[in-house]
A = this chain, B = another copy of it.
Amino acid sequence: MRNIKLTIEYDGTNYLGWQKQPQGSTVQQEIEKALKNMTEENINLLGSGRTDSGVHAFGQVAHFQTNSKIKANEFQMGLNSSLPRDITILNAVEEDLKFHAQFSAKSKTYIYKILNRPHPSALLRRRAWFVPLELDIDLMKRSAEYLIGEHDFKAFAQSGIDVKSTIRTVLKVSIDEKDNNLILFRIEATGFLKRMVRLIIGTLIQVGKGQISPTDFLNILESGEKTKFVYCAPAQGLYLKEVKY
């Protein structure tokens, strides 16, 4: 038995997220189907975690076990020639059998792109969240600082999720203004809750618009209460950037 690790870029626009499901096409399903064609095995591909419908990835990581003798780089070439063009295998390497894409992960980094200008963008309509109102970036930066460290992120978790704990550790956060009116939010944590980044972004935007203050943001984080200002930002601005091991 061999263990292969894949690093995957995808455009989430046309997929119902990462995780396989009966209702439609997902990234996991597409890759498993292509692996079956190559190996004639029913391969179970395990991702570092799920991404929601419409969310993109620059570097999702997944692993699978196989009895085939196909080399790692041949998997990469074979998959890239048979997968739809909105999924790309960036890297394929053989790992020892202990490697697990989810459980071996030390941290994950997400980025979120906000287009902040008066008019939408034809070219970025599926790549960023269009926010026409002027934003106070400094207030957003000050609020984002509060996220660093170990916290109970209950306020920024999808309601009703079934997890043992909503405590997570955020390692790094940054907000940068880029060319072309783009605001780039970057967050690295040891783990994330379902919808966590999108709920954080949606709430940070309320700070940027002046609807709530950085202190209000801190209160939401500390109280764990999902007030009406905890808003879920749309999927198309979110990218799983990197998984570290």
Beta-carbon contact of A89 and B123 below 8 Å: no
- Of the candidates B87, B120, B122, B123, the one whose C-beta lies within 8 Å of that of A122 is B87
Residues of chain B contacted by A85 (CB below 8 angstroms): 120, 122, 125
Q: Which of A10, A58, A121 has the largest number of chain B CB atoms within 10 A?
A: A121
Residues of chain B contacted by A16 (CB below 8 angstroms): none
- Of the candidates B88, B119, B120, the one whose C-beta lies within 8 Å of that of A121 is B88
| A56 contacts chain B at the CB level, 8 A cutoff | yes
| A interface residues, tally (CB under 8 Å) | 20
- Of the candidates B9, B76, B119, B120, the one whose C-beta lies within 8 Å of that of A123 is B9
| A80 contacts chain B at the CB level, 8 A cutoff | yes
Beta-carbon contact of B123 and A56 below 8 Å: yes
Beta-carbon contact of A90 and B76 below 8 Å: no
Residues of chain B contacted by A76 (CB below 8 angstroms): 119
Rounded to whole Å, the gap between the CB of A60 and the closest CB of chain B is: 10
Q: Which residue of B lies closest to A27 (CB)?
A: B122
| A63 contacts chain B at the CB level, 8 A cutoff | no
Q: List 8 A-B contacts (CB under 8 A).
A: A9-B121, A9-B123, A11-B122, A80-B120, A85-B120, A85-B122, A86-B122, A123-B127
Give the interface of A toward B (CB within 8 A). Answer: 9-11, 56, 58, 76, 80, 85-90, 119-123, 125, 127
8 shortest A-B CB distances, which residue pairs? A88-B122, A9-B122, A11-B122, A85-B125, A10-B122, A86-B122, A11-B123, A88-B120
